[in-house]
Structure 1
Amino acid sequence: MSLFVLVLGANGTLGVAVTCKLLLEGFSVHAQVRDRADTGSLDALLEDAERAPASTASCYKRLRIIRGDPSADQFWLTYERLLGELGIACSSLDEAEAWYAGTSRPSPAQQRGKGILIAVVTCTGALACRSVGETTPQDILDAISAHVLPMQQSLRYLPTLSGNRYCCYVAVGSDPLSWEGTVDCCPYCVAKFALRGLVDCARHDLPHAHVEEIYPGNFLSGLWEKGGIDCPFVETTAEQVAEDIFNVVDTHLTRIRTKLTLSSAPKV
């Protein structure tokens, strides 16, 4: 059985680290990048697969790069077709539960399909360093588009497209009251508060799913460089954050499997 994870913003420092971790842990990964974005680090993973020993190369062969803008409807409509072509979308709740339970007798639909989409990790973002007086309405809209809309669109589309109401949604956030929210980062801070509100709403509206926002702390990445400022202090690494994200996904997967196993056990 193949377990798929969709990583949004997969070509950034954190996105690459998350993609690597998930592949090494046995997941298949759909790595989203924007249409004209550089995929150098992800391409390197695919090249490594060609040179690596068979035991290592096999994990990188489970990587598929998908281009598009996850804040736009068209990306998700295209992704719906891909899920159908790959046999990943579940046609019913029973089928989704069977995938989680790992039944020894797969249904005909499971035999035709290749797996199930179990998680979405949103690593998208931008760091615009502007004071309140310098910030324009477009700056706010751009920040919302980068930080919030990819997560919102995944919550909007995937319960239906994937057929899996138990999906795990992880958003990489930042505490809006920390350093970044106090030193001329108005668009960034506004977007992070909006992301926090979105996650709270989703937890209420999608009770069977697991929706979590993690605050990783500062780590060296291209986000700081593109923002034109130096990272003030380093608290962690992208690899450690990727480990934390994997633990969130894996814990939820174990929890759902345990719950379904207990619910299907004969009553004494």
Structure 2
Amino acid sequence: MSKTIFITGASRGFGKLWAEALLQRGDKVVATARDISALDDLVAKYGRNILPLKLDVNERRAGFNAIARAKEHFGGIDVLINNAGYGLFGTIEEMSERDARDQMETNFFGLLWLSQAVLPIMREQGHGRIIQLSSVLGLISRPVLGLYAASKFAVEGLSESLAAEVKDFGIKVSIIEPAGFDTEWGSSSAARTVAMPEYNEVKASHQAGIPPDFRGSASGTIDAVLKLIDSENPPLRLLLGKYANMLVKKEYANRSAEWDSWLEVTLASQGK
């Protein structure tokens, strides 16, 4: 049975790739982008099964209006994929207020507004899926990507709470956590701070530590995302890419060892 899927950031990268895969298998797709001309090829190919909507996810009212338009057009929304977002490269000291606020507005608040907007529809239906695009950097952090990681850590906390709040309404929440893939995330879709030469060595060291095969093929994620959408018992979190699995397990082992090394202090802090 076909589903109606609302996906943000569908003009390129994961968003467009997943939108086309969903259309190919017969689903109806509401595809949003700031520039919907990037969706003309999908409209020409899939006709009435795709509804392109111009949307800047930073605008809360526009997000609510887009969700309402989608429901009116297709009669309901089975799945919301909050995919819109971008990378911000720069050290913490280099961040301007505008850099930081823009990153949080798009990656976190845009996702929050659309999640809020779709919930009444899904509660009325008695079912629905909300899929949030986070990152391996929503679980661990690295130099030069601190604000991006902060935005994704926020997505993780919000989504974990949301999953518990809405499960009795028949709504399931999943968080996708990719490592590196060959999308525009690190290039044309990215923003960068005004560089300070004091951090040149930190940035060079960070870049040198990235394995040559770190970036996976974005098309390789299609089957995983379709399985997630169709699963009757989806996970709260889904890592994508071999390095996501490797990095997270290593980091959590290190955290556990550190917590254990300070366990005496932790327990003593309870007091009497």
Normalised by the length of structure 2, the TM-score is 0.69
| Higher RCO (CA-CA < 8 Å; seq separation 6+) | 1
Kept in 2: contact 1:22–1:29 (CA 8 A): yes
Does the residue aligned with 1:20 lie in a helix, a strand or coil? helix
2:262 alignment partner in structure 1:
none
- Given candidates 144, 153, 157, the residue that maps to 1:193 is 153
RMSD over aligned CA atoms reads 2.7
Between the aligned partners of 1:139 and 1:130, the Cα distance in structure 2 is 10
Between the aligned partners of 2:70 and 2:21, the Cα distance in structure 1 is 22
2:22 alignment partner in structure 1:
22
2:52 alignment partner in structure 1:
65
Map residues 118-267 of structure 1 onto 2, 5 A cutoff. Answer: 118-162=78-122, 163-176=124-137, 181-207=141-167, 208-226=170-188, 227=190, 232=210, 233-252=213-232
Q: 1:252 to 1:149 in 2, by over 3 A?
A: farther
Alignment length, in residue pairs? 213
Does the residue aligned with 1:206 lie in a helix, a strand or coil? helix
Corresponding position: 1:82 with 2:69: yes
Question: How far off its partner does 1:237 sit?
Answer: 2.0
Deviations 1:37-90 (A, max 9, x none): 3633x212233x2xxxxxxxxx554111011222322223322542453261xx
Q: 1:164 to 1:155 in 2, by over 3 A?
A: farther
Q: 1:129 to 1:216 in 2, by over 3 A?
A: same
Kept in 1: contact 2:13–2:184 (CA 8 A): yes
12-21 or 170-179: bigger deviation = 170-179
- Given candidates 36, 39, 46, the residue that maps to 2:37 is 39
Between the aligned partners of 2:227 and 2:2, the Cα distance in structure 1 is 18
AA paired with 1:44?
D
Deviations 1:208-255 (A, max 9, x none): 31111111221111111133798954442222223212111111499x
Kept in 2: contact 1:117–1:167 (CA 8 A): yes
2:4 alignment partner in structure 1:
4
Q: 1:224 to 1:209 in 2, by over 3 A?
A: same
AA paired with 2:226?
F
Normalised by the length of structure 1, the TM-score is 0.70
Structure 2's unaligned 5+ residue stretches are: 193-206, 235-272
Does the residue aligned with 1:150 lie in a helix, a strand or coil? helix
1:262 alignment partner in structure 2:
none
Structure 1's unaligned 5+ residue stretches are: 50-58, 89-115, 255-268
Question: How far off its partner does 1:16 sit?
Answer: 0.8
Question: Structure 1 vs Structure 2: percent identity of aligned residues?
Answer: 15
1:264 alignment partner in structure 2:
none
Question: How far off its partner does 1:143 sit?
Answer: 1.3
Deviations 1:142-171 (A, max 9, x none): 111221223212221212145334211111
Kept in 1: contact 2:71–2:77 (CA 8 A): no
Kept in 2: contact 1:216–1:236 (CA 8 A): no
AA paired with 1:238?
A
Kept in 1: contact 2:32–2:54 (CA 8 A): yes
AA paired with 1:45?
L
